[in-house]
């Protein structure tokens, strides 16, 4: 699997606390190894993120991504649940 972070995603990651960056790194590795692992809570999104998917980074942080046809994913956004969905 090829991971392609957007410019927006990289900017958001740069502003995250160190502890969240560490969790993000762990979850991305897990995601690459087993994308549908239950702990990731990988699910489709609706509304303004229709067509995208989300995984849990921590209890409150989510990562939004887009599956691409060539076995790659584009990382779209990251933030707390309220930041992303409200």
Q: What are the mean pLDDT values of the chain's consecutive 10-residue runs (86 residues total)?
A: 95 96 96 93 93 95 95 95 87
CA atoms in the 13 A half-sphere facing the CB of 47? 4
- The CA-based diameter of the chain, rounded to the nearest angstrom, is 32
Query: Percentage of residues in the chain with pLDDT exceeding 70?
Result: 100
The whole-number pLDDT of residue 18 equals 96
Q: For the whole prediction, is pTM greater than 0.75?
A: yes
For residue 28, the domain's CATH number is: 3.30.2310.20
User: At 17, phi and psi to the nearest 5?
Assistant: -65, 150
Beta partners for residue 54, in sequence order:
43, 64
Provide the number of structural domains found in the chain: 1
Q: Which residue is listed with tokens 């969905």?
A: 85
The whole-number pLDDT of residue 42 equals 95
Strand bridging mode 2-5 / 72-80 = parallel
The whole-number pLDDT of residue 71 equals 87
The whole-number pLDDT of residue 86 equals 77
Range(s) of the domain holding residue 41: 2-85
Rounded Cα gap, residues 26 and 47, in angstroms: 28
């Amino acid at each position: 699997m090829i991971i392609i972070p957007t410019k927006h995603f990289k900017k958001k990651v740069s502003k995250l606390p160190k502890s969240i960056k560490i969790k993000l790194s762990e979850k991305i590795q897990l995601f690459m190894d087993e994308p549908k692992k239950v702990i990731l809570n990988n699910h489709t999104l609706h509304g303004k993120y229709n067509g995208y998917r989300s995984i849990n980074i921590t209890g409150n942080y989510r990562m939004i991504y887009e599956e691409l046809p060539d076995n790659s994913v584009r990382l779209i956004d990251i933030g707390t649940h309220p930041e992303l969905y409200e």
